[in-house]
Structure 1
Amino acid sequence: MVVPTYNEAENLPWIVGRLRTAEPTVDVLVVDDGSPDGTGDVADKLAVDDPQVSVVHRTAKAGLGAAYRHGFSVALAAGYDVIGEMDADGSHQPEQLHRLLDALADADLVIGSRWIPGGSVVNWPLARKALSVGGNVYARLALGIPVRDVTAGYRLFRRTTLEAIDLGTVESSGYCFQTDLAWRTSRAGLRIVEVPIEFVERVRGESKMDRRVATESLRRITAWGFTQRTRQVRDVLSKVTRASANGQARDRRTS
């Protein structure tokens, strides 16, 4: 599991301990973006004490997507066939990881979903729930993705999935990274399965989500959707033109 961190010194030992207890066979890769609170040092100590924990140190905070891309690349180079992602703040409960692992038998990408039957969120105000649901509906309609929680960050990818979507060409660095990879997986014709999870709002530390991050996601999704719809219209017009030309050719041969 790739776990990106920035100022999560208080949460990291807690969440890694829960993960190693819940799924003892799962390795953990912490990707720290130069946290000033010493998260990198905490991660190094965890790695010294547990050979199934490793750490990647990045020099600057470059966004969630950039951290995940780096972590995925390291995991792919190490030969892992299944690569996952989860937050370090406890929002994604390690005790529910088995649901994702079980679903991977029939999927190329498994998403722990808040917005399918059985899924839920804890300690979110109504306004934030409405924003998340609305954002997911917008992304689903704009991009044509058959996923209810396209922004979710609790996931398992097959190695072959990350290779098929050409991870090296992914440019999104913020939270829209999650939407980007789900969209690419869908466009590649791969199977996406959602399983219900209980998402728990962090109780320690500060959320990294802000208005700027949300605005970037909306802007990128809108641009992607416009590009996709334009391509679809162009393809339809091209087919109509070819069909018309073929019909005229048949008419000439008949006459």
Structure 2
Amino acid sequence: MKCRRVRLLLLAAMTCFSFSGCSLQEKINDYASDKEECYLNEENVTQFSYKENNYTILEDTVSNDELGEWIGYIRQLAAVDEEGKLLLQENIEPAAFLNLADLGDKAPDAAYIIPFLNVYAAPNADNYLIVEVNGEYHKAVSNANVKGTDSVFDFKNTEEAMSGKFKINPKNATQLLCNSTVYQVTSETVSNSELGNYIDILAETIIFDAETKIPLSKEELRKLDWQGESAKQQREQWIYKDIYEIQGTDKTEAVAVQINDHYYMAEKRK
């Protein structure tokens, strides 16, 4: 496994902050129930099918506010080789996120692991679709309409330098770290129109103790509570996705981070 080149991104489709008062199974059943399921091309991960039509994903991207109607989904974590051939894929499901870290072990010859999420219509055009790949929204055109001047999605660019990347504070799940800077997630929301340039994708599901803010390990989550000792422990779940700049704000002072499908301001700690 070429670990230095693989970004294993853990995504889930849940929207609740806390385990209490939220049925995970209901979320699974309701999610995308009226959308068209799309399928990746097993021989070429830059292509997928929608309603029996084949599409090629382009390098061209659009912003959040340029999305049309949500019409379909792929929702697969794809392990591919150097040539873009699909070696293995796992459903991105709420109940399975704890096992997704094993995907690299299941596909030892994979060079890249890439998340594919939803498919959208173009808002004011019918000659292309939009597909969410690796935290960005890429245009996708019918295979028959691909031009020689079109730049096809470069799946190899999913590799990113670790320097300057954001990560979640292992001692406080409500904080982000970037080099020596600590960003505290606030309750202040950021609208799509206020988002600036795309920065990064975290794509991690974190379950943590609501009081201490310390993330719970896999072992702690899998452990059965025979005596009911942890019954009073309040656990919260945050699904971290994209990070964007905020228009008019220097990214060294604050950024917008998507948590449970909403964008929140994360401010630099003074």
**Band of TM-score, shorter chain:** under 0.3
Q: Which has the higher strand share?
A: 2
Normalised by the length of structure 2, the TM-score is: 0.26
Normalised by the length of structure 1, the TM-score is: 0.28
Larger Rg over CA atoms: 1
